[in-house]
């Protein structure tokens, strides 16, 4: 039996903060600090108090705060001053369809309250025994800490939820980065706010392409085949290997780039009026912006490139193998093409990709990875949750999100030029509509619900047809949202997981219980170590279709196939639409 399913389990919650800490000792070795010369007292091994910043050897120590309770692990130095931890989990915006959510969904965040108190300076001051004062009689922990460590933004903070008896390594750990730490208020508490790593890719922090700083050194005419840029750097003009620039509303390609001794950049072999833009004269000091081009690139690869090269995300946060596996499986013959001619928010671009290629990405606080998943049929049999054995009392509710329903998809694609505003229909060469007239008829929902998409990415009629068909299939009916809570014994259910639900409100037309499949879009440990609150959306990949995998050549015949083979495999129906008396799969 694991700790989380033990009766009498004792929840333990710990907050860890990684504090920058110099690896040198004061005045020893590389450190040239000297009392009386560089300072009147020794430093605190932090950058702010450093007396030899050039030799600051940035390493880290981990501060740990726990709730004031008897049963705490004894393996580390724990300060029992933690008052509360309030987490707001990631909420998936599947396919970026929910207009009330940000394109990448709601970010995971955490608010932490810690009680301030006198402190011995043990652990945080390596020279505490040499001080001429008693630290317990001087200030409080956080007043001193914030003075010594003002540069905490972006540092790692973790929330550990476990049980007494577990080691720290065995506890469930959620990862965030620090946004802010308040000074102690009049009640003697400190508030810490932290968010998930995807905040680094927010539009105000990350754009693609990066802004170019160069300007034209002199006027150019419509006949010019070369130009000189001053004030810029080479890397601004070959972003992502793209040899296209934008001046005003004209795009130009170039064949060679040369940097002069004065730093000016000469572009030669100009291809004027690139991508349908109008050739024009341009003046001295006009800004020259480097563009970013993706040409027939799989959408998961584009998304990964945006995150890693423009979204400030470290490679350690993306599992290349998992992304590639998902991309190869579902986007093997799908690609995107686009020239982005001015700095555009990375989150905005990712939201477009999620919407137009039907996938979603999210920060997994537990694995410390950014996950990528296509909206696709599921072939595994998920766990079944029942009101008898799983749902906590009086915590379950079902709602309908009518805003997400769709009866028509209008899809505009193939922009006339990359410099046009891509949020109006006349900027595109084609608009196609996919309509489900039955859904909007008076016999069903009785109203049209138009979902309009402007795409700068898709340029292929087949892909557009496939996408619009999938969108209608996925969103034809009002999605139902299920909110429920589980005991910690069932905390293994994760974001994006599927689950089969049996609940008294879910019945067929005769009133008989019906098992409905849902997908988890939000998970929040509302009572640490005890209660986990979930939100799930009804999972429908397509209405009236059964998805199947193309089976291997050596697959068994229907007569000898296992139930799993039959569930996941693809047995073509005979002329009567029957396989061994059962419904066969529909070829679509």
Partner 1 sequence: MSIYISNALVATPGLADEPLTHTRIGYNTVITSAGLTGTAGEANYPLSNVLNPATYERYKPTTPATCTLNIDVLSAVDVDYVGIQGRGITNVKVYSSSDDITYTQLVDFNPTGRAIMALFEEVTARYYRVTLTGSALAIIAMKVGKALAMQRAIYGGHTPITMGRTSAIRPTMSETGQFLGASIQRKGLGTQFSWGNLKADWYRQYFDLFVQSEPRVNPFFIAWRPLSYPNEVAYCWAAGDITPSNTGTKDFMSVSMSVEGFSDVV
Instruction: Tell me which residues touch partner 1 (CB under 8 A).
Output: 5, 7-11, 69-72, 74, 77-80, 117, 120, 122-123, 128-129, 134, 136, 164, 387-394, 396, 487-489, 503-504, 527, 529-531
Task: State which residue, 264 or 530, has the beta carbon closest to partner 1.
Answer: 530
CA distance 217 to 302: 33
Task: State which residue, 72 or 555, has the beta carbon closest to partner 1.
Answer: 72
DSSP symbol at 210: P
CA distance 153 to 546: 49
Burial 478-487 (b: 16+ CB within 10 A, else e): bbbbbebbbb
Task: State which residue, 83 or 117, has the beta carbon closest to partner 1.
Answer: 117
Burial 387-426 (b: 16+ CB within 10 A, else e): beebbbeeebeeeebeebbbbbbbbbbbbebbbbebeeee
Q: How far is the CB of 394 from partner 1 (least distance, A)?
A: 8
Q: How far is the CB of 392 from partner 1 (least distance, A)?
A: 6
Question: Is 240 in contact with 309 (CB distance < 8 Å)?
Answer: yes
Task: State which residue, 378 or 514, has the beta carbon closest to partner 1.
Answer: 514
Burial class (CB in 10 A: 0-12, 13-18, 19+), 337: middle
Strands (E) in 455-530, as ranges, are 480-487, 498-502, 516-527
Question: Is 92 in contact with 522 (CB distance < 8 Å)?
Answer: yes
Question: Is 471 in contact with 434 (CB distance < 8 Å)?
Answer: yes
Q: How far is the CB of 395 from partner 1 (least distance, A)?
A: 8
Task: State which residue, 13 or 341, has the beta carbon closest to partner 1.
Answer: 13
Both tokens assigned to 240: 């992502």
Helix (H) or strand (E) holding 464: helix 461-475
Q: How far is the CB of 140 from partner 1 (least distance, A)?
A: 12
3-state secondary structure of 241: helix
CA distances for 107 relative to 92, 359, 538, 583, angstroms: 9, 17, 21, 43
3-state secondary structure of 543: coil
What is the dihedral angle through the alpha carbons of 133, 136, 141, 145, rounded to the nearest 10 degrees?
Answer: 10
Burial 141-175 (b: 16+ CB within 10 A, else e): bbebbbebbeebeebbbbbbbbbbebebeebbbbb
Beta bridge partners of residue 247, listed in sequence order = 250
Q: How far is the CB of 129 from partner 1 (least distance, A)?
A: 7
Q: How far is the CB of 18 from partner 1 (least distance, A)?
A: 17
Both tokens assigned to 244: 């296209």
CA distance 75 to 164: 12
Task: State which residue, 165 or 437, has the beta carbon closest to partner 1.
Answer: 165
Q: How far is the CB of 161 from partner 1 (least distance, A)?
A: 12
Q: How far is the CB of 58 from partner 1 (least distance, A)?
A: 21
CA distance 368 to 171: 14
Contacts for 278 with CB less than 8 Å, ≥ 6 apart: 249, 250
Task: State which residue, 139 or 584, has the beta carbon closest to partner 1.
Answer: 139
Q: How far is the CB of 568 from partner 1 (least distance, A)?
A: 32
Q: How far is the CB of 186 from partner 1 (least distance, A)?
A: 19
Question: Is 448 in contact with 504 (CB distance < 8 Å)?
Answer: no
Q: How far is the CB of 123 from partner 1 (least distance, A)?
A: 5
Q: 177: number of CA atoms within 13 Å, CB side?
A: 14
Task: State which residue, 122 or 295, has the beta carbon closest to partner 1.
Answer: 122
SS3 per residue for 309-358:
HHCCCCHHHECHHHHHHHHHHHHCCCCEEEEECCCEEHHHHHHHHHHHHC
Q: How far is the CB of 67 from partner 1 (least distance, A)?
A: 8
**Sheet with 265-268, side-by-side order of all strands:** 215-216, 226-230, 265-268, 256-259
Q: How far is the CB of 502 from partner 1 (least distance, A)?
A: 11
Both tokens assigned to 491: 């905390």
Task: State which residue, 394 or 510, has the beta carbon closest to partner 1.
Answer: 394
Q: How far is the CB of 2 from partner 1 (least distance, A)?
A: 12
CA distance 129 to 127: 6
Task: State which residue, 449 or 491, has the beta carbon closest to partner 1.
Answer: 491
Task: State which residue, 415 or 528, has the beta carbon closest to partner 1.
Answer: 528
Task: State which residue, 324 or 530, has the beta carbon closest to partner 1.
Answer: 530
Q: How far is the CB of 486 from partner 1 (least distance, A)?
A: 8
Task: State which residue, 124 or 346, has the beta carbon closest to partner 1.
Answer: 124
Task: State which residue, 237 or 391, has the beta carbon closest to partner 1.
Answer: 391
CA distance 253 to 255: 7
Question: Is 65 in contact with 12 (CB distance < 8 Å)?
Answer: no
Task: State which residue, 77 or 545, has the beta carbon closest to partner 1.
Answer: 77
């Amino acid at each position: 039996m694991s700790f989380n399913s033990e009766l009498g389990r004792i929840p333990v919650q710990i907050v860890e903060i990684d504090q920058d800490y110099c690896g040198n000792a004061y005045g020893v070795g590389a450190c040239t600090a000297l009392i009386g010369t560089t300072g009147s007292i020794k430093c605190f091994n932090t950058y702010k108090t450093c007396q030899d910043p050039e030799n600051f050897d940035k390493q880290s120590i981990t501060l740990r705060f726990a709730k004031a309770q008897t049963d705490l692990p004894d393996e580390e130095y724990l300060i029992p001053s933690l008052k509360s931890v309030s987490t707001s989990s990631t909420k998936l915006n599947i396919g970026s369809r929910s207009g009330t959510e940000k394109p990448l969904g709601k970010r995971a965040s955490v608010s932490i309250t810690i009680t301030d108190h006198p402190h011995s300076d043990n652990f945080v001051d390596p020279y505490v025994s040499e001080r001429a004062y008693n630290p317990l009689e001087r200030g409080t922990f956080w007043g001193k800490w914030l003075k010594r460590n003002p540069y905490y933004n972006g540092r790692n903070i973790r929330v550990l939820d476990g049980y007494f008896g577990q080691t720290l390594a065995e506890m469930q750990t959620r990862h965030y980065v620090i946004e802010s730490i308040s000074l102690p208020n009049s009640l003697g508490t400190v508030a810490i706010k932290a968010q998930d790593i995807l905040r680094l890719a927010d539009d105000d922090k990350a754009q693609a392409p990066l802004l170019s700083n160069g300007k034209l050194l002199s006027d150019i005419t419509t006949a010019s085949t070369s130009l000189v840029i001053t004030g810029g750097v080479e890397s601004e003009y070959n972003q992502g290997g793209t040899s296209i620039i934008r001046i005003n509303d004209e795009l130009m390609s170039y064949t060679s780039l040369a940097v002069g001794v004065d730093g000016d950049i000469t572009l030669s072999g100009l291809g004027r009026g690139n991508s349908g833009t109008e050739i024009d004269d341009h003046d001295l000091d006009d800004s020259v912006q480097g563009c970013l081009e993706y040409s027939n690139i799989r959408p998961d690869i584009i998304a990964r490139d945006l995150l890693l090269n423009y979204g400030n995300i470290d490679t350690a946060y993306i599992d290349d193998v998992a992304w590639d596996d998902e991309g190869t499986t579902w986007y093997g013959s799908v690609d995107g093409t686009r020239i982005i001619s001015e700095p555009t928010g990375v989150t905005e671009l990712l939201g477009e990709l999620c919407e137009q290629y039907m996938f979603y990405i999210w920060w997994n606080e537990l694995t410390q990875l950014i996950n990528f998943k296509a909206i696709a049929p599921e072939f595994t049999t998920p766990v079944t949750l029942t009101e008898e054995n799983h749902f906590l009392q009086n915590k379950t509710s079902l709602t309908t999100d009518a805003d997400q329903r769709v009866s028509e998809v209008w899809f505009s694609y193939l922009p006339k030029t990359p410099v046009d505003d891509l949020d109006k229909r006349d900027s595109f060469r084609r608009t196609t509509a996919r309509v489900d007239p039955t859904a909007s008829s008076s016999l069903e929902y009785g109203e049209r619900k138009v979902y309009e998409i402007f795409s700068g990415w898709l340029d292929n009629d087949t892909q557009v047809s496939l996408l619009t068909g999938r969108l209608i299939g996925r969103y034809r009916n009002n999605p139902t949202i299920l909110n429920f809570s589980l005991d910690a014994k069932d905390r293994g259910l994760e974001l994006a997981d599927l689950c089969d639900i049996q609940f008294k409100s879910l019945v067929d037309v005769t009133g008989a219980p019906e098992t409905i499949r849902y997908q988890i879009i939000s998970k929040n440990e509302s009572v640490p170590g005890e209660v986990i609150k979930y939100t799930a959306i009804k999972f429908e990949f397509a209405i009236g279709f059964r998805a199947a995998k193309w089976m291997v050549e050596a697959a068994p015949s229907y007569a000898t196939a296992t139930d799993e083979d039959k569930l996941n495999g693809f047995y073509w129906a005979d002329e009567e639409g029957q396989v061994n008396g059962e419904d066969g799969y529909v070829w679509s």
